[in-house]
Structure 1
Amino acid sequence: MVLSKNTIYEPLQMFGIVATVFGATGFLGRYVVQQLAKMGSQVLVPFRGCEDSHRHLKLMGDLGQIVPMNYNPRDVNSIKTAVAKSNVVINLIGREYETRNYGFEEVNHQMAEQLAMISKEHGGIVRFIQVSALGASASSPSRLLRAKAAGEESVLKEFPEATIMRPATLIGTEDRILNRWAMYAKNWGFLPLFGGGSTKFQPVYVVDVAAAIVNSLKDDGTSMGKTYELGGPDIYTVHDLAEMMFETIREYPRYVNLPFPIAKAMASPREMLLNKVPFPLPTPSIFNLDQIKALTVDNLVSENALSFADLEIKPHKLKGYPTEFLVCYRKGGPSFGSTVSEKMGSADVAPRF
């Protein structure tokens, strides 16, 4: 039987959402789970780590509302079990660096393709949301973004009604950019700027991206089969964002400009040794070769792309509450007076976990 988009969406209105969120234990995942639980949905959380990896998520819902499920992303039967009772699948799986066991292609492309294929075969999955990345393109200098683009293509081939979300660099309490910069600046007294920090991008508050994902489930099915580019309201250069970070942590800004060729050379040893040594290598932080390559081109929302406005969301400006977490890097810790005043000055304060 062939179903129209409106017909496909009816079960969500009649019976509510039962969502399986792959990658829920990650940065964006905790905010997506929180917002799904807030609207009364049941959330299944597949995890492959230890029991502690999902513990913080269970507090976001009532008893039995958040259901952790141990699974293996390389085991088809394990995935089928995780989606067996769901009508929504959200794929947040992704990794910004490679390990000896998991490469960019498998994590960002092959796993997405497999989830879409299994969800389509399931028959009861009415919505599939694939979270990709802004700048995903087959011609990107970044292997991660090329793998993300391939993942989008495969997902739409297997599940044409899927919704693709392309968030820009995520900013928030657990982010992997401002936290790393602040820690590096505190430890070493300066921050390296690759290519002079002139690359332009549109960092976005993580809570806004989670809200966009959930809002796409609340519509009448009009977001199905569409791609949304989720960038923040303001365009920054890397240097501009670093200045904001230094201002918030109340440190004098000190930079070392590193041309891209030198930065790539400094980050290359890990990539060359990754599969040649019999032990795991440290997780890359500032000097991540693939991220350095991605910074060689600007990463902005396309002019005619669907965005937050099409999902009825007004994204937060970064200066203020979204970057308030950086006060913990100030000398002596956060100032109580400034922290309280910043909170009281925010008209829309998101929950903290």
Structure 2
Amino acid sequence: MQKLKRREEQVVTVFGGSGFVGRYVVALLARDGWRIRVAVRDPQKAAFLKACGDVGQVVPLAVDVSDPASVARIVQDSSVVINLIGILLEQGKQRFDLLQARVPGTVAAAAQKAGARTLIQMSAIGADLNSPSRYGRSKAEGEVAARAAFPSAVIIRPSIVFGPEDDFFNRFARMAQVSPFLPLVGGGNTWFQPVYVGDVAEAIRKIVLHPDKYSGEIYELGGPRVMTFRECLELLLREVRLNRLLVGLPFWLARVMSVFMTVLPNPPLTLDQLKMLEKDNVVSDQAKHLEDLGVKPVDPHLILSDYLSRYRDGGRKN
């Protein structure tokens, strides 16, 4: 019988480990003593992750995710493979079809061939093969591809993820600093269940620590509060201590505006994102969730004030 390797001798490969969620995952796993390969496009930009562990414990490596051979080299001898790659906006070669529909299957096939015992695929609430949104369809296609190559893969589907580096509360906080109003797309009636990035990372850590317990499961990750889009912005304005009008923006008008915004290098709203906004983004009643992974979700009120305080007049002092 083969002797089980000690944790510090086992390799965890994290695709997209330098991203918003990835950096928290890498930090937790490094603290637990795993050897970590961070598969990224640009290892130099991911060099900051080396500080998460001892010398040589966290190693950023270049990978071409469109090339199965490159992916296979990265996952060689890995005990755990985690795929966190995802985009909210298509730009250049960064396409939903490649990164969210095809790459999960490539990573899963490589992990299976390498003999990894655990594969974790990050998807999203709203993943649906019949979604009107290409984002939602590509996430669902990625789940199917991952499961086809690695049947025991664990799928996690977060709602909107918030934290110091998020692109949701930070985006609207920056907007509030320069605009007298904030737009409520669709009247602000879409429901969200914001989940703290640290809780998402802890959920992944639990799966890595107990692979047999969670094998083959699907988890939808949401925080303790279900909030409308309007309530999210009202909370934000309280935290940044700014008075701004919340102006309803009907979906039909937002669609027209999104067409003109496509010419911008980083459009604040796309037609595909609008299609996602037309559907609530909350954990379903039948789904397994954070508590099933032994994680008690943090209330947004306890986190937001810490990192949104920089948007107040006078900054963190006030």
**Equivalent residue for 1:42, pick from 31, 35, 44:** 35
Deviation at 1:137, TM superposition (A): 0.8
Tell me the residue number matched to 2:295. 313
Task: Give the RMSD, CA atoms, in angstroms.
Answer: 1.9
Q: Which moved more, 1:41-50 or 1:237-246?
A: 41-50
Matched, 1:135 2:117: no
Per-residue CA distance 1:81-119 (angstroms, 9 max, x = gap): 111131110000000011131221111010111111111
Tell me the residue number matched to 2:214. 223
Distance 1:331 1:102, change over 3 A: same
Matched, 1:20 2:3: no
Per-residue CA distance 1:112-157 (angstroms, 9 max, x = gap): 11111111122x2110000000121122232111110111011111
Tell me the residue number matched to 1:163. 154
CA distance in 1, matches of 2:141, 2:211: 28
Runs of 5+ unmatched residues, structure 1: 1-6, 274-280, 337-353
Distance 1:185 1:71, change over 3 A: same
Return structure 1 stretches of 4+ with deviation > 3 angstroms. Answer: 10-17
CA distance in 2, matches of 1:23, 1:104: 15
**Equivalent residue for 1:283, pick from 266, 270, 285:** 266
**Equivalent residue for 2:93, pick from 75, 83, 101:** 101
Deviation at 1:76, TM superposition (A): 2.1
Maintained 8 Å contact 1:194/1:263: yes
CA distance in 2, matches of 1:236, 1:31: 25
The secondary structure found in structure 1 opposite 2:165 is coil
Q: Which moved more, 1:42-51 or 1:309-318?
A: 42-51
CA distance in 1, matches of 2:169, 2:287: 27
**Scaled by the length of structure 2, what TM-score is found?**
0.95
**Scaled by the length of structure 1, what TM-score is found?**
0.86
CA distance in 2, matches of 1:321, 1:300: 20
The secondary structure found in structure 2 opposite 1:229 is strand
Maintained 8 Å contact 2:29/2:205: yes
CA distance in 1, matches of 2:18, 2:11: 17
- Write the letter of the residue equivalent to 1:57: L
Identity of counterpart residues, as a percentage? 39
Tell me the residue number matched to 2:237. 246
Deviation at 1:13, TM superposition (A): 6.7
Matched, 1:33 2:16: no
Deviation at 1:288, TM superposition (A): 2.8
Deviation at 1:220, TM superposition (A): 5.2
Runs of 5+ unmatched residues, structure 2: none
**Equivalent residue for 2:317, pick from 302, 327, 335:** 335
**Equivalent residue for 1:77, pick from 69, 77, 94:** 69
**Equivalent residue for 2:135, pick from 122, 141, 144:** 144
